[in-house]
Amino acid sequence: MKALSVGRPWSELILRGKNVENRTWNTRYRGPLLIHAAQSWNPEGVRFAKQLDDSLGAGLNKHTLPTGIVGIAHLTGICTAATDGRPCGCGPWAMPDQNHWQLTGIRRLPEPVPVKGALGLWTATPAVVTAVNAQLDQEASR
């Protein structure tokens, strides 16, 4: 299963409904995508979230937000219009001059799965996938 490391608080914002992840690069991959909360912290994410909706920025604190695999989404498409200088309708999370990775079916894991992230799109180990699936199966049986 593929995973993407996302700096905090952007990873948390995905779990709160940020359905576009901005990247300078493209990929042909489509499908399930583990969301890895990286150790890095970008205070701009808090400011941006509060500009969109003050409640989105509530509780975003680098000392309390976890790292590791925190959720799963489905990468359904990538809009490249902005990188071509064309306007697009990808919504308020879409940044100019970026590829807009479109995420659907975003789900938060009950507990983060500790793992070191990586640059780019990376493949999770079988042990990580097993730990994620166990949580998803447990959640589905409730």
Per-residue pLDDT reduced to its tens digit, 72-108: 999 999 999 888 877 789 999 999 999 999 999 999 9
Taking all residues of the chain, what is their mean pLDDT, rounded to a whole number? 94
The neighbour count for residue 110, using CB atoms within 10 Å, is: 10
User: Under CATH, which architecture does the 2-136 domain have?
Assistant: Roll (2.30)
- Rounded CA-CA distance 118/111 in Å is 20
pTM of structure: 0.94
- Rounded CA-CA distance 98/94 in Å is 8
Q: pLDDT digits over 20-45, tens only?
A: 999 999 999 999 999 999 999 999 99
